Structure 1
Amino acid sequence: MLKFLTFFYLLLGDNVWARSIKATADRLGSEAKTIGLSISIIGLAVAGIMLAMGKQDAGAKITQALLGCLVIVMSSNIAGFIKGVA
């Protein structure tokens, strides 16, 4: 009986580990997106301050900050597109 239960555990145990790892990866991705978005908003605020101070490269900094925000917001869509292509 113990051999049967061990076999059953090994047969079904892999799916449990896979679900746990996938859930952990999904949560980590969600947290990384939140942190990245807050950092990009701070970068946008710094670029706005540079623009208000009259710095020469402020326009480029605002453009870079906006593109960074866009990439972070669309990161899940970009990853889904890449998975769909592959």
Structure 2
Amino acid sequence: MMATFKKVKKTKRSDPLSDIETLSSLARRASRRAILNAKQAGVASVFIRDGIMFKRNPDDSIVEVKRGEPKPRLSIEDLSCQAYD
């Protein structure tokens, strides 16, 4: 059985938190700020690229932590517009 989806117009909304572009921008800025704060505090940060988990130390050295299977990248639209059965 196919799910029916309601078409959403790509216009600016009055509430900035319901605008996907604004949410994406806020998430990117928050992530970069958290990484910078961790580096300034002398704490390592962890990120995943192509299914591999890496740890970036405060001295900018990168160490592989764990290998996994690569998964497709998700966008904010994928996360916020999922259909439920």
TM-score (norm 2): 0.35
Higher relative CO (Cα under 8 Å, sequence separation at least 6) belongs to: 1
Normalized against structure 1, the TM-score is what?
A: 0.35
Q: Greater share of strand residues, 1 or 2? A: 2
